[in-house]
Structure 1
């Protein structure tokens, strides 16, 4: 899509590069991500913001980048530690996150997921107790969308939305289109 955009003469902006870098991160295209970051600077004179760095974060990169890492960067690193089962970096990321927001249970949950994935059950149990001791509960996933100046809020697995039938029908249609064009394998979604 980015190549098509360039071929059409459209100039990417800062938001475009967040999408590109996020896509590279999710697909594991690390070298491509760094290449796009370099292109962003060299070819389009767009100064990377913390959000851009957050898309291609790893510990070495966090330490060497020209901007100080924020909570989003450390949370991104912590989330990627689950994929790569890197407990050492995950624990370090949690330490940094606790400095930003010591009572955020989401950070503890992310590390407990890393522990669970590698079978460190005692550490997982210890972290569950620490999460409970924060006194806060993790909220369900929430998305917001604005249509015609009206903001709608959607929670993960929430069946109470008044337009849920239309929403799920639209999602089914989008899923069918994605399958038609090869973006979603058959059976790879629970929208059906």
Structure 2
């Protein structure tokens, strides 16, 4: 108010709700939202998406139902929050119902964000076959994020066929990303298919792919010291090995 802003201005309140939600102060965001006398669509969208983003799925869906009871018609932004809430809570059936209602009840055409939420929801729940079927029927073309989501889930649930399909599509979209090959190689390894894992690594090498080496940083009096997992020698390797041998002689446990 001291800066000339109207305390009851809905635009100011909406901005405050958005700010607090993005800063992680979701409880304060809810308090500010409840203090808004005449809430508009932006007010509802902001709080629903804020709650969903911070894992408060139940509260987000409650807000959505309250929003509709107040006569506010949801838009595509609203449904991003609703589907995100379902994703966090693993509500597959509810998510599918909300996704369907977008077009049938509100004439909203699903966009890539909505489809991505649904693929993530199905994948997290272990319904990878259904996720593939959903992708094939999507009104928009799947992007890198969607296929990477499916690839990651195939590693969790050891679904190698789905992983192979996801990698095939990812190679078309981002052919220079070796991380996708590594993920499928790890799936092969987890299933004991070491020949397939080796074959994939050879294919990576032949095409010029190289996985970035893991790096560890240690802060010392002289600054930051960097160590590589690839075996690249540190300038003081001999000194470090001598210290390690001395520590072992004192029965110090080393990882």
Q: Which residue of 1 is the match for residue 113 of structure 2?
A: 51
Instruction: Report the alpha carbon displacement of residue 43 of structure 1 after superposing the two structures with TM.
Output: 4.3
Q: Quick one: distance in 1 between partners of 2:90 and 2:151?
A: 16
TM-score by length of 1: 0.59
Contact in 1 for aligned 2:158/2:191 (Cα 8 Å): yes
2:140 is paired with a residue of what secondary structure? coil
1:31 is paired with a residue of what secondary structure? helix
Divergent runs of 4+, >6 A = 157-160
Aligned equivalent of 2:102, options 34, 37, 40 = 40
Q: Which has the larger radius of gyration?
A: 2
Q: Which residue of 1 is the match for residue 167 of structure 2?
A: 94
Q: Deviations over 1:101-150 (max 9, x none)?
A: 2111121122123223322222223333444554344598xxxxxxxxxx
Q: Which residue of 2 is the match for residue 4 of structure 1?
A: 62
Q: Quick one: distance in 2 between partners of 1:17 and 1:119?
A: 42
Instruction: Report the alpha carbon displacement of residue 67 of structure 1 after superposing the two structures with TM.
Output: 1.9
TM-score by length of 2: 0.46
Q: CA RMSD in A?
A: 3.2
Unaligned runs of 5+ in 2: 1-58, 120-130, 220-255
Aligned residues: 144
Instruction: Determine which structure has the larger helix proportion and give its number.
Output: 2
Answer yes or no: is 1:21 the counterpart of 2:83.
yes
Q: Which has the higher contact order (CA 8 A, sep 6+)?
A: 1
Question: Structure 1 residues 30 and 3, CA, compared in 2 at 3 Å: closer, same or farther?
Answer: closer
Question: Where does 1:108-187 land on structure 2 (aligned, <5 Å)?
Answer: 108-132=181-205, 133-138=207-212
Q: Deviations over 1:161-180 (max 9, x none)?
A: xxxxxxxxxxxxxxxxxxxx
Unaligned runs of 5+ in 1: 141-156, 161-192
